[in-house]
């Protein structure tokens, strides 16, 4: 069964109905647009990374490791920087380690700390995956660089007001 393409903006139509039946629709329309755009971007990034055997969470962890001065970070710090629960970061590192992209090592001076280190294979896979996501501009289509900057400013303002940082 093939899907019939939508020929009108479903979110705009929902906002119009919301206005008629409930009241002001700006917030509802904005959140609906953000949620839909998140789906679109996630699909584009997933498609770019799938060929490299990565999810966005694992890709993001590899990027974080590559940004560190020694290609390694304590697991606790990785979880904090990626804003993930310890269980989630453990699962991500487990998968990276199983694929030979990262390695757990004991901290040289703190026995309670486990370091995660980017392997040579991990760096190579990261480089290839980054080329893939850059080719698709992380799924952003239809926006100019200045508009992307404006979008980031607005979303950062929202995150700050919500106490994200």
CATH number, domain with residue 66? 1.10.10.10
Say what the pTM is.
Answer: 0.86
Number of structural domains in the chain = 2
Q: Examine the domain organization and report whether 22 and 84 are in the same domain.
A: no
Closest CA to 71 of 120, 34, 33: 120
- Is residue 146's pLDDT more than 90? yes
Q: Examine the domain organization and report whether 125 and 90 are in the same domain.
A: yes
- For 34-53, b/e burial (b = at least 16 CB within 10 A) is eeeeeeebeebbeebbeebe
Average pLDDT over residues 101-108: 93
* Residue 54 pLDDT class (50, 70, 90 cuts): very high
Closest CA to 120 of 100, 95, 105: 100
Q: Which residues constitute the domain of residue 74?
A: 54-137
* Residue 70 pLDDT class (50, 70, 90 cuts): confident
Query: Residue 26 has what pLDDT?
Result: 96
d(CA 63, CA 83): 14
Q: Examine the domain organization and report whether 17 and 32 are in the same domain.
A: yes
pLDDT tens digits, 2-41:
778 889 999 999 999 999 999 999 999 999 999 999 999 9
- Is residue 1's pLDDT more than 90? no
């Amino acid at each position: 069964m093939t899907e019939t393409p939508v020929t009108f903006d479903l979110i705009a139509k929902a906002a119009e109905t919301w206005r008629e039946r409930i009241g002001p629709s700006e917030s509802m329309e904005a959140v609906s647009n953000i949620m839909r755009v998140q789906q679109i971007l996630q699909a584009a990034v997933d498609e770019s990374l799938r060929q490299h055997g990565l999810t966005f969470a694992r890709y993001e962890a590899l990027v974080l490791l590559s940004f560190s001065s020694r290609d390694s970070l304590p697991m606790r710090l990785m979880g904090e920087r990626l804003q993930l629960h310890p269980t989630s970061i453990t699962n991500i590192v487990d998968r990276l380690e199983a694929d030979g992209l990262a390695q757990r090592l004991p901290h040289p001076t703190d026995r309670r700390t486990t370091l995660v280190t980017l392997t040579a294979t991990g760096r190579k896979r990261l480089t290839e995956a980054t080329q893939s996501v850059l080719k698709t501009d992380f799924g952003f289509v239809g926006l100019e660089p200045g508009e992307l900057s404006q979008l980031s400013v607005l979303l950062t303002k929202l995150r700050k007001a919500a106490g994200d940082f």
